[in-house]
A and B are shown apart, each in its own frame.
Chain A
Amino acid sequence: LAKTTQPISMDSYEGQEVNITCSHNNIATNDYITWYQQFPSQGPRFIIQGYKTKVTNEVASLFIPADRKSSTLSLPRVSLSDTAVYYCLVGDNNAGNMLTFGGGTRLMVKP
């Protein structure tokens, strides 16, 4: 199971683009990368998942370099409501181990 490392916290201002990087040096060939968002008093919510290169949806983009040892979640033009904890998970989609949450990154968006 690949271990992930994220910054503990980040600050940003409204309207800025925020990039949160996750390191996963021991990622295996079959591992996928998944990001969740958690607001206070709520359960985590799926944001995006990817395997390589770039994935984009209506909420965020996920950039994964060729060696896949890291990934970057990009949130365009954040607002105050994006203040939350963001978790990066790495695991094998076929092996039942995409269940372990790392420490997460606490993002604070300021006005």
Chain B
Amino acid sequence: SAVISQKPSRDICQRGTSLTIQCQVDSQVTMMFWYRQQPGQSLTLIATANQGSEATYESGFVIDKFPISRPNLTFSTLTVSNMSPEDSSIYLCSVGRAPNEKLFFGSGTQLSVL
């Protein structure tokens, strides 16, 4: 298993500001992913965080809006930039030890943008 610590657990932010979410794993993992889950909805994959290289973004998500860092095999950050109320959502960090093995998830960051 993998223990994932995600910070902050929740935040309320003003429109136009940015928030950086941290994801720390208790062991080295190959795969790290960032998801968004809007209230009452399923999870949507934002991007794959690649260690030592630029993240791979899914359709509809861009680096300028959601810059991602992954400096090593246990840590990643997701920044939600220039926030608007439409960015209010839960953001989840997920890890996998090998391609398409089961995923482990953090508890998420609940973001509210006023």
A residues touching B (Cβ–Cβ < 8 Å)? 32, 34, 36, 41-46, 49, 87, 91-104
Interface residue from A41, A49, A93, A104 paired with B108 (Cβ < 8 Å): A41
- Min distance, Cβ A49 to any Cβ of chain B, angstroms: 6
Q: Is the interface of A mostly helix, strand, loop or mixed?
A: loop
Which listed residue, B33, B35, B94, B108, touches A42 by the CB 8 Å rule?
Answer: B108
* Residue from the list B33, B45, B104 in contact with A46, Cβ < 8 A: B104
Q: Chain A contacts of B92 at CB under 8 A?
A: 43
- Given the interface contacts A99-B45, A100-B45, does A94 sit within 8 Å of B99 by beta carbon? yes
Q: Does B103 contact A (CB under 8 A)?
A: yes
How many residue pairs between the two chains, A and B, have CB atoms under 8 Å in the bound complex?
Answer: 52
By the criterion CB–CB under 8 Å, are A44 and B107 in contact?
no
Contact B42 A101 (CB under 8 A): yes
Residue of A nearest to B93 (CB): A43
Measured CA separation A32–B99 after assembly (Å): 13
Flag B37-50 by CB within 8 Å of A: 1 or 0 each: 00000111100000
